[in-house]
Amino acid sequence: MGPENAPIRVIVATRNRGKLDEIRSSLAFEGWEFVTAEDLGLEAPEVEETGDSFTENALLKAFAYHELFGMPAIADDSGLVVDALGGEPGVHSARYAGAKATDARNNAKLLAALDGLAPEFRSARFQSTIVFVDDSGHAIAACGTCEGRMGTEPRGSGGFGYDPLFLPQVTPGRTMAELTLSDKNEISHRGAALRSLRDKLTVRD
């Protein structure tokens, strides 16, 4: 039975409205509703991301929300991997400049770390893992990647995180933050992971 035949409410393990919008846009199954703890008037839990990979952290968050709220849950863990920095910021992308760092502070730290580096040495990729845990506690995971390089200054007002600095290979001259949400979903790491997850959910029994 495909998702269209199974109306369902899913708790999304995020406070990031940008991520929520991308998930709602990509997994627009008939009868499915994606909500956050905030939407339900509840406090979002702090899930300690102790995993060594995006997949481990996504699993931790999805199961924590599933168990706490008693409903199907979906969680994403994603980040930026910069080759010249040995893979940093990686799983620490959201807190690269500190535990409560803003996007602006993270971007400023990254630019400082790459200062003076020529374009050919600024290769990077966004990676994402999305995990869906159904009402019975069964987990389905999907991954996605977007290759590109880091720019030298922020550009664009869309997206979030490192989007203003990241130049995808498939959109020459434009940062991720200069794309529409629809265009971003077509080429982004999270968009690829969500399409893979959508396919897996559609064919599940």
On the 0-12 / 13-18 / 19+ scale of CB atoms within 10 A, 90 is middle
Told to judge if 205 belongs to the known catalytic residues of this protein, a careful annotator would answer no
Number of CB atoms found within 10 A of residue 12's CB: 24
Q: What are phi and psi of 141, to 5 degrees?
A: -120, 150
Token pair, residue 23, equals 């998930």
Kindly give, in sequence order, each residue whose CB lies less than 8 Å from that of residue 45, ignoring residues fewer than 6 positions away. 37, 64, 65, 68
Q: Which of 21, 76, 77, 103 is catalytic?
A: 77
Which runs of consecutive H residues, i.e. helices, occur in 37-171?
A: 54-69, 103-113
Burial 143-168 (b: 16+ CB within 10 A, else e): bbebebbbbeebbbebbebbbbbbbb
Element (H, E) at 11: strand 8-12
Which runs of consecutive H residues, i.e. helices, occur in 70-180?
A: 103-113
Q: Are 27 and 76 in contact (CB under 8 A)?
A: no
Q: Are 14 and 36 in contact (CB under 8 A)?
A: yes
Q: Which residues are catalytically annotated?
A: 77
